[in-house]
Amino acid sequence: MRLKFTATALKDLHRLKEFISKKNPLAATKYINQLLKVIRQLLIQPKLGKVLDEEPLVRQLMAGDYIVRYAVRDELIYILKIWHGKEER
């Protein structure tokens, strides 16, 4: 299995880091690293997240205060979108 971040997910990571950096740059790096650590757990347990009723091929994983949407296809885990639970989407 391999992780593949979509362009949207990469933008989400950048946006989240920038947002946290405004108040605390050191915390931003820490939060992003913790988030990536949880995402990497999908390499071992790709079915860790729950299946979405509205999109049965997409799963959702809670990573602390963050929500990660992803899909598993063959040997790839596509990270689709990442956001903070308090964000409006």
Instruction: Answer yes or no: is 41 within a domain.
Output: yes
* CA–CA gap between residue 53 and residue 31 (Å, rounded): 29
* Higher per-residue confidence, 64 vs 82: 82
Count of domains for the chain: 1
pLDDT, tens digit (0-9, with 9 covering 90-100), for 19-64: 999 989 899 999 999 999 999 999 999 999 999 988 889 999 999 8
7 class by beta-carbon count within 10 Å (0-12 exposed, 13-18 middle, 19+ buried): exposed
* CA–CA gap between residue 73 and residue 70 (Å, rounded): 10
CATH number at residue 70: 3.30.2310.20
Q: What SS3 string covers 26-48?
A: HHHHHHHHHHHHHHHHHHCCCCC
User: Containing domain of residue 11, as a range?
Assistant: 2-84
Instruction: Answer yes or no: is 89 within a domain.
Output: no
Instruction: Answer yes or no: is 62 within a domain.
Output: yes
Instruction: Answer yes or no: is 38 within a domain.
Output: yes
* CA–CA gap between residue 27 and residue 58 (Å, rounded): 30
> Terminal CA-to-CA distance of the chain, rounded, Å?
29
Instruction: Answer yes or no: is 40 within a domain.
Output: yes
Q: Is 87's pLDDT higher than 80?
A: no
